[in-house]
């Protein structure tokens, strides 16, 4: 009797693996993971390379990254050179042609949106400028629908059997997102003209969407640590412009921001740049809810 059950169980497992064999998707950042979850639910197996609290430019490589990339059917990246510091060697070591750039199992989301600040001439003289343009495009909530659609199209291409499900879930997601967009747009209307300083040029898509004005950054140039002379000039500028907030990311040191705040009228707001960057932010909805709340609800 027992043997019978065991045989039955094995048969079941084997059938399940053969029939289901879910698409194996590797994504670089948690916000992409959140979008894939919205569309595919648990129809795909998902693995995220970066932690939300990590500096997205530098992700510490681990053996599991190579193992997951080696078996992946689809790799979805943010692109615009954001992953240039860690992903190319990982993909090379994984040696899985399916996910090589340009192949069917590779999706660079930056190609779906129009990037701001594309440099006229690429030169390292301006610091760490990404040649394709500003890479942190996911922080404009109005960019999310086209990104979700791009992911759905790719999932349908690789896994046509589940396409109806993906399409249905995408529609559902877009409806909920549209409702949220209206709410956020309304709340953020008051932000128009607000003057801010950020540590890194990170939130520019959000600032541009809601008409906020970036007066300067704590970094003199992208990727270069704050220097005394630059900060003293910045403090003068901030006093003159009456800057309201210093927007601080979670992965750089915060001492500089607090020091500059103490010399000016500005207050420091620590904002997440990605899902899981701060506790309690588990989805792309949470991410923008948190950012909007931080900026619109008076302390």
By the criterion CB under 8 A, which residues form the site for other proteins?
Answer: 57-58, 60-64, 66-67, 70, 84-85, 89-90, 92-93, 124-128, 221-225, 227
Which is nearer to other proteins, 16 or 224 (by Cβ)? 224
How many residues in the chain? 299
Which is nearer to other proteins, 48 or 150 (by Cβ)? 48
Measured distance CA(139)–CA(287) in Å, rounded: 9
Smallest gap from residue 161 Cβ to other proteins (A): 31
Sequence-separated (6 or more) residues with CB below 8 Å from residue 212? 191, 192, 193, 194, 195, 196, 206
Q: Minimal CA–CA distance to 113: which of 142, 88, 86, 72? A: 142
Smallest gap from residue 168 Cβ to other proteins (A): 35
Which is nearer to other proteins, 67 or 116 (by Cβ)? 67
Which is nearer to other proteins, 138 or 201 (by Cβ)? 201
The arrangement of strands across the sheet holding 267-270 comes to 213-217, 195-198, 245-248, 267-270
Residue 200 falls in which region: left (phi positive, over 0), alpha (psi -120 to 50) or beta: beta
257 with 218: CB under 8 angstroms?
A: yes
Sequence-separated (6 or more) residues with CB below 8 Å from residue 200? 217, 218, 219, 222, 223, 249, 252
267 - beta bridge partners?
Answer: 245
Smallest gap from residue 77 Cβ to other proteins (A): 16
283 with 277: CB under 8 angstroms?
A: no
E strands, 88-244, are 106-108, 195-198, 213-217
Measured distance CA(249)–CA(271) in Å, rounded: 6
Which is nearer to other proteins, 86 or 210 (by Cβ)? 86
Smallest gap from residue 91 Cβ to other proteins (A): 11
Neighbours of 100 (CB within 10 A): 15
Which is nearer to other proteins, 171 or 223 (by Cβ)? 223
Smallest gap from residue 22 Cβ to other proteins (A): 21
Measured distance CA(76)–CA(99) in Å, rounded: 9
Which is nearer to other proteins, 13 or 126 (by Cβ)? 126
Smallest gap from residue 252 Cβ to other proteins (A): 12
Smallest gap from residue 209 Cβ to other proteins (A): 26
Which is nearer to other proteins, 84 or 194 (by Cβ)? 84
Smallest gap from residue 270 Cβ to other proteins (A): 21
The residue with tokens 């343009």 is 133
């Amino acid at each position: 009797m027992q043997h019978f059950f065991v045989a039955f169980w094995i048969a079941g497992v084997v059938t399940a693996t053969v029939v289901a064999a879910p698409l194996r998707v590797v994504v670089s950042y948690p916000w992409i993971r959140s979008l894939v979850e919205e569309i595919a639910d648990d129809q795909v197996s998902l693995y995220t390379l970066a932690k939300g609290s990590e500096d997205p430019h530098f992700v510490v490589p681990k053996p599991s990254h190579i193992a997951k990339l080696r078996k992946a059917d689809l790799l979805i990246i943010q692109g615009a050179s954001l992953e240039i510091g860690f992903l190319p060697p990982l993909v090379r070591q994984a040696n899985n042609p399916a996910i090589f750039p340009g192949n069917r199992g590779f999706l660079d989301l930056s190609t779906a949106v129009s990037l701001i600040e594309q440099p006229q001439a690429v030169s390292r003289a301006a610091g760490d400028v990404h040649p394709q343009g500003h890479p942190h495009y996911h922080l404009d909530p109005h960019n999310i629908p086209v990104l979700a659609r791009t992911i759905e199209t790719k999932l349908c291409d690789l896994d046509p059997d589940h396409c109806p499900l993906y399409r249905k879930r995408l529609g559902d997601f877009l409806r909920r997102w549209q409702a949220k967009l209206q709410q956020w747009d309304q709340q953020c209307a008051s932000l128009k003209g607000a003057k801010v300083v950020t540590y890194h040029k990170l939130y520019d898509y959000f600032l541009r969407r809601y008409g906020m004005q970036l007066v300067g950054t704590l970094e003199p140039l992208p990727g270069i640590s704050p220097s005394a002379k630059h900060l003293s000039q910045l403090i003068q500028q901030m006093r003159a412009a009456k800057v309201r907030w210093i927007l601080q990311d979670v992965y750089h040191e915060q001492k500089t921001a607090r020091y500059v705040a103490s010399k000016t009228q500005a207050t420091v707001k620590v904002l997440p740049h990605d899902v899981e960057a701060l506790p309690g932010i588990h989805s792309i909805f949470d991410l923008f809810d948190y950012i909007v709340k931080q900026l619109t609800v008076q302390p």
